[in-house]
Amino acid sequence: MALDRWLALIFIAFCCAYGYLAFFTMDQLLPPFMQRNPVWPSTFPKILSVLGVVVGLIVVLGLEKPTEQGEPSATDINLSRLHEYKLGQAVMLLALMVAYALALRPIGFLLATTLFLAGGSAILGERKWYIMIPVSVLAAGCVWYLVQEVLGIFLRPYPFFMGN
Amino acid sequence: MLEGIMIGLTAAFSLQNLLMVVAGCLIGTFIGMLPGLGPMSIIAIMIPVAITLGDPTAALILLAGVYYGAIFGGSTSSILLNAPGVAGTVATSFDGYPMARKGQAGKALTIAAVASFAGGTIGAILLMIFAPALSSVALLFHSAEYFALMVVGLSAIAAFAGTGQVAKALMMTILGLILATVGEGALFNMPRFTLGMMDLQSGISFITLAMAMFALPEALMLVLNPARGSNADGSSSNKITNLRFSREEAKAMAPVIGRQSVQGFFIGVLPGAGATIASFLGYAVERNIAKGEEQAEFGKGSVKGLAAPESANNAACTGSFVPLLTLGIPGSGTTAILLGALIALNVTPGPRLMTDTPEVFWAVIISMFIGNLVLLILNLPLIPYIAKVLAIPRNYLIPFILFFTLMGAYIGQNNATELLMLVGLGVMATILRFADYPLAPLLIGFILGTMLEDNFARSMQLYRGLDFIIERPMTLGLLVLALVLVLLPSFRARRARKRAEGVADGD
């Protein structure tokens, strides 16, 4: 079964869970005076979950026939060429983003951003440290200045133990 | 209308707003040129900046400038590298790139700039005429009609997704609507589907979702496939010399630009169509109209073939503002993002926009003229220098794109959990992209979701049930239209298949 139909199956499961929450758990919390309303907080989600299951089934069962497509070009995204792609780099970059999210508060914006930018280019195969590090430091400093001073949004610049 | 234009002129010609137009156009061109960053990603990245401006007029002007700039920047990379940064400029590369390879890159860029300028300007004039008229009709609408109209908009977006894609687009729309129900709604004041998590209490931030749907997957695709976004055949034609085109060429192009600007505008008005369809259709129409030798030129560097998609896509961008400004219903991913930004700025676009805050409405239109002019006079001489952006090595480019994506989501909320959600949703979006699911319907569904539910609940309360569908003929009519729009593509496909089968049986 092709990936798109697997995803549709997951979507149906998701809609069922969503529908379960809407049909069986939400209405109990409703205060009695609101129960006389023609529309409840759960009304719209109920409709959506039913529609979602129906549309998901149409995709899973392949009721809508796809049209024949030509050979995709080399620059397009193509699942059958996944093994040629640099999956490792992409996963490492995603991990780096998660690490950045977790580190942003404790170690401060400037250090986290510098490490993120330098680390990102290192993952992509750059080895000219004498360019990467100055560029990252400069970029982190500029962005911090713009956000903090020009836009007036507070970003904690230094690690937590250095105070502000 | 004259009075409105005067209001717009005074608002748009303030120093701050003029700066916004110029800055928006420059930033848009600059980033739009980079492979993998379309107007949606750029606008999503710029939204935190626009929101902190605080002034809705300035913010909308900035974002509209970015939008135009991005489309123009996309044409530049289509012409120079055969690597369109934006789907709407793919048709530009058909004739623009061959011209650049013949050593006429400068001329091609000039033609693109002039055609874009004409398309954008004619589009803005048409917008000025049609938007007030549509607005006054829309004032007669009640919440029941609004509900039905949004259903029509959402089905049209799915219906235009292409044959064999309608069910997938609908699925994405429903997913968007479902995501919109998370959090505490305005209507019921009770948290829904938060799964007990505090961070979901206020719902999913639309900036985070926009970044996760567009900017992040594009950046990941660039990582996965290094061939993407670089020159298709490895050669470089970066020398930009003579910027002029001849008088004969101008004469040949003029009617093309005129036709395609009008056609592009009306395609842009339709929900779900937009710049991409307008440019492809414009190209196809002009190739069919052209005669003999000129037709043979198409695809080999024809001036007409370059002017047609360029004027059409810019006019369509302008046209897509019509439903946004008059009905408050976005017809494309980009205008959906703009709508989200406006709501964050406490402006609700819709028919009342013209009467309540006319300065916003007219300033946007006037700034469209200024934006087009800025693109023409500022960018044309700067193109050779701006094109140097294309030389940034991807090892530096990609970490920066990822970083700006993260910043965009972080600045809006100042909450690190938002970043984790961004990564999670981004991975989901990338997988959906691999399976050929369109993502714009998801975002449009998400943004329209709250309004759709509000209007639905209001009509239900007014009519004590579903009676509003029967009692209001216009609502019924619109809902039937929505159903027809969804069913029509598969009906037509079935008929075409039957016909094809008949032929196959015969031989």
User: Which of A6, A18, A109, A124 to mutate against chain B (most B CBs within 10 Å)?
Assistant: A124
Q: What is the pLDDT of residue B4?
A: 77
User: Which of B81, B184, B187, B223 to mutate against chain A (most A CBs within 10 Å)?
Assistant: B223
- Domain-embedded: residue B324: yes
Does B186 lie at the interface with A, CB-CB under 8 angstroms? no
Task: Mark yes or no for CB contact A75/B226 under 8 Å.
Answer: no
Structure tokens at B1: 């209308």
Q: Among B227, B403, B493, whose Cβ lies nearest the Cβ of A116? A: B403
What is the pLDDT tens value at each position of chain B, 507 positions in all? 777 778 777 777 788 888 888 888 888 888 777 766 677 778 877 887 888 887 888 888 888 888 888 888 888 877 877 766 666 777 888 888 888 878 787 888 888 888 988 998 999 899 888 888 888 887 888 888 888 888 888 888 787 766 668 889 899 999 999 999 988 766 677 778 877 777 777 788 877 888 888 778 878 888 887 766 554 444 444 556 666 777 888 888 888 899 999 998 988 887 766 777 788 888 888 888 887 777 888 888 888 888 998 899 889 888 888 888 888 888 777 888 888 888 888 888 888 887 888 878 888 888 888 888 888 887 677 777 766 766 778 788 888 888 888 887 887 677 888 899 999 999 999 999 888 888 888 888 888 888 888 889 888 888 888 888 888 888 899 899 989 988 887 787 778 777 777 655 444
Q: In Å, how far is A85's CA from the nearest CA of chain B?
A: 5
- Domain-embedded: residue B191: yes
* Chain B CB contacts of A20 below 8 Å: none
Interface of B with A in 226-265 (CB under 8 A): 226-230, 232
- Domain-embedded: residue B498: no
* Chain B CB contacts of A151 below 8 Å: 48-49, 52, 411
B171-174: long-range pairs with CB below 8 Å, 24+: B171/A8, B171/A11, B171/A52, B171/A55, B171/A56, B171/A59, B171/B437, B172/B432, B172/B437, B172/B438, B172/B439, B172/B441, B172/B442, B172/B445, B173/B441, B173/B442, B173/B444, B173/B445, B174/A15, B174/A48, B174/A51, B174/A52, B174/A55, B174/B445
Q: Inform me whether the pLDDT recorded for A114 exceeds 90.
A: yes
Count other Cβ atoms within 10 Å, centred on residue B2. Answer: 6
Task: Mark yes or no for CB contact B423/A98 under 8 Å.
Answer: yes
- Domain-embedded: residue B468: no
> Among all residues of chain A, which has the CA nearest to that of B185?
A41
Does A37 lie at the interface with B, CB-CB under 8 angstroms? yes
Please state the domain count of chain B: 1
Print the domain residue range for B208: 2-140+148-235+242-462
- Domain-embedded: residue B475: no
Q: What is the pLDDT of residue B449?
A: 86
- Domain-embedded: residue B302: yes
Task: Mark yes or no for CB contact A2/B435 under 8 Å.
Answer: yes
Does A138 lie at the interface with B, CB-CB under 8 angstroms? no
Task: Mark yes or no for CB contact B192/A77 under 8 Å.
Answer: no
- Domain-embedded: residue B347: yes
Interface of A with B in 83-122 (CB under 8 A): 84-87, 89-90, 93-94, 97-98, 100-102, 104-105, 113, 116-117, 119-121
B347-354: long-range pairs with CB below 8 Å, 24+: B347/B56, B347/B60, B349/B324, B349/B325, B350/B138, B350/B326, B351/B135, B351/B136, B351/B138, B351/B139, B351/B141, B351/B326, B351/B327, B352/B139, B353/B135, B353/B325, B353/B326, B353/B328, B354/B4, B354/B131, B354/B132, B354/B135, B354/B325, B354/B326
Does A61 lie at the interface with B, CB-CB under 8 angstroms? no
ipTM of the complex: 0.88
pTM, rounded to two decimals: 0.80
Size of interface A-B (CB pairs under 8 A): 189
* Chain B CB contacts of A67 below 8 Å: 163-164, 493
> Among all residues of chain B, which has the CA nearest to that of A84?
B225
Taking only the tens place, the pLDDT of each residue in B426-444 is 999 999 988 888 888 888 8
Interface of B with A in 71-100 (CB under 8 A): 83
Q: In Å, how far is A93's CA from the nearest CA of chain B?
A: 8
Distances (CA, A) of B294 to B99, B125, B156, B197, B290: 15, 30, 36, 63, 6
Task: Mark yes or no for CB contact A153/B52 under 8 Å.
Answer: yes
Task: Mark yes or no for CB contact B167/A55 under 8 Å.
Answer: yes
Task: Mark yes or no for CB contact B223/A117 under 8 Å.
Answer: no
Taking only the tens place, the pLDDT of each residue in A14-54 is 999 999 988 888 888 777 777 778 888 888 899 999 999 99
Q: Among A7, A41, A85, whose Cβ lies nearest the Cβ of B225? A: A85
